[in-house]
Amino acid sequence: MTVSAPLSPPAAASARPFLAVEDIAKSYGGAQALKGVSLALAPGAVHGLVGANGAGKSTLIRILAGLVQPDRGRVLIDGEPVAIPTPHRATELGMSFIHQELALVPGMTAIENIMLGLPKASRWGMIDWRAVIREVAPIAARVGVTAPLSAPARTLSTAEAWLISICRALVRKARLIVMDEPTASLSAEECETLFAIVADLARSGVAVLYVSHRLDEILRLCDAVTAFRDGRVVAQLERADLSRAALVEAIVGGAARPPAVPARASGRREAMLTVEGLARLPKVRGVGFTLHRGEVLGIGGLVGAGRSELARLIFGADRPDAGTMVLDGRPFAPRSPAQAVRAGLGLVPEERRTEGLLLGKSVAFNLQLANLDAIVRSRALPLIDFRRREASSLAVIRDLAVKTAGIETPVGRLSGGNQQKVVIGRWLLRAPKVLILDEPTRGVDIGARAEIHRLIRVLAAKGMAVIVVSSEPDELPDLCDRVLVMAEGRLARELEGEALSRNAIIEASYAHAALEGSLP
């Protein structure tokens, strides 16, 4: 894919920003996500937005997109205050948002996704898709779309889906395009194509808000950068002032230090899981570590670092390109999650509602999914023993303080925290040797978060080996015995003891961009 020409001649410089936000603040459940944020986006400029996970970037984007309303402050378009009560209004104002999880309808074609919600050429009362394609084709060609516009969206690669999303924004005559982690799932060649498109969009007068953890991209593409930390703007840098050191210092609140891997303490308990050279390119690149019985091991890092992909490889959901594993002293190479479960692994997935639960089924049904062999009357007569099913389900509900009207309540009616307890409770019944929890407290309230943390420590104290994958650097230091920080698919640093802290995790996450040769 290549871009042979700019989208249009360069736009004339404008002294007035297209969009400005002034003193925007937003709280969720008493916690302030934004604390008086102000910034301005100029036409024809690429503006970078950086900050650690939880710094407030996503909240600002959601406000601009009309998904949430600020508690105070105002948004101005061309100098005039505007309200953005809905996503439709954001589109009317000339803003388009391309999220990391692309919002294409898989059952529709590329052209149907591009034109969704827009008036279309018709003939004899029917949509004339050939005419529509002729109208859109020049725009698609300018952004490098090579896939047929009639192709189903489900058949598009991630890179092609990104180009279709950009095409959709231009068809809507967007004056601002927000790109959230655009290269997280792209190859190096596809990234180069995207970079060329971003530059051409700016030359055509479109403002681009570019959100990325990859500082090399920020330095290459951006005319200005705003850095968030703890819900505040802590730095606004023009291109002349941009450097890796300046960005890292703004993000983490101090200068980057060379990575230091502390020696392992003597007398550690026996190994439960050993991973050597595990790889599935391009997301996981030669990862190796040892997990010990009774240990809580954290896996930290930024979006796109390869954390969840590593968990899927260990659990047998994906097959590795290279590497070996040993589980409890025996070679371990699961060809499927079912094999991993039989060998003694459990996984609480990141997306509990789509991957961890059947929302229309009961609490008991979901609890027993991995435990059916323990509640049947006999192997010869595999009928459910409902007394045993009820007793074991009630025991988990009691032990985890799951708030539910009963074991037959559909799990979809429970709060997010109680749904997560059900997913974890499923593995308590199974008692795996190794339990992997991917973002175990995402979307749960403070009380449920504390209960889940307590449960993890209890499981480890009983001898279970636990891996906690988390994008929240605040979560890992108090919970984990050790933390492995991933960057660009590799292990960037191992932290434990006094070296383990929130800032150390954030700093290590950015080490690949801030320090030469920091990766093993």
Domains belonging to the chain, first-starting first, are 19-251 (3.40.50.300), 272-344+435-520 (3.40.50.300), 358-431 (no CATH)
For residues 258 and 51, which has the higher predicted lDDT (pLDDT)? 51
For residue 446, give the 3-state DSSP assignment. Answer: helix
Q: How far is the C-alpha of 423 from the C-alpha of 361, rounded, in Å?
A: 13
Q: How far is the C-alpha of 486 from the C-alpha of 491, rounded, in Å?
A: 4
Average pLDDT, the chain: 84
The radius of gyration of the chain from alpha carbons, rounded to an integer in Å, stands at: 25
Tokens of 311: 């968990």
- Contact (Cβ atoms closer than 8 angstroms) between residue 332 and residue 342: no
Report the alpha-carbon angle 98-100-101, nearest 5.
95
pLDDT at 416 over 60: yes
Which of 396, 395, 390, 446 shows the shortest CA–CA distance to 417?
A: 446
Residue range 301-325: mean pLDDT, rounded? 90
Which of 54, 165, 184, 177 shows the shortest CA–CA distance to 116?
A: 165
Beta strands in 255-295 (DSSP E): 271-280, 284-292
Instruction: Band the pLDDT of 93: cuts 50, 70, 90.
Output: very high
Axis crossing angle, helix 158-171 with helix 188-203, rounded to the nearest 10:
10
Query: In Å, what is the CA distance from 403 to each residue of 35, 156, 306, 349, 483?
Result: 34, 42, 34, 21, 32
For residue 413, the model assigns a pLDDT of 81
Which of 476, 254, 433 shows the shortest CA–CA distance to 341?
A: 433
| 410 DSSP 8-state letter | B
Instruction: Band the pLDDT of 139: cuts 50, 70, 90.
Output: confident
How would you classify the pairing of strands 46-50 and 490-496? unpaired
pLDDT at 129 over 50: yes
Q: Does the predicted TM-score (pTM) go above 0.75?
A: no
Sign of CA dihedral 480, 483, 486, 491: negative
Cα 257 from chain centre: 26
Q: How far is the C-alpha of 272 from the C-alpha of 294, rounded, in Å?
A: 9
Furthest CA-CA distance within the chain: 81
Query: In Å, what is the CA distance from 52 to each residue of 35, 57, 64, 302, 414?
Result: 16, 9, 20, 8, 31
pLDDT at 121 over 50: yes
For residue 481, the model assigns a pLDDT of 94
pLDDT at 145 over 60: yes
For residue 216, the model assigns a pLDDT of 84
For residues 252 and 85, which has the higher predicted lDDT (pLDDT)? 85
Which of 151, 163, 166, 438 shows the shortest CA–CA distance to 309?
A: 438
For residue 377, the model assigns a pLDDT of 77
For residue 488, the model assigns a pLDDT of 85
For residue 430, the model assigns a pLDDT of 85
- Contact (Cβ atoms closer than 8 angstroms) between residue 314 and residue 436: yes
Residue-wise pLDDT tens digits, 249-282: 888 776 545 444 333 334 457 899 999 999 998 8
Which residue reads 């698609």 in tokens?
140
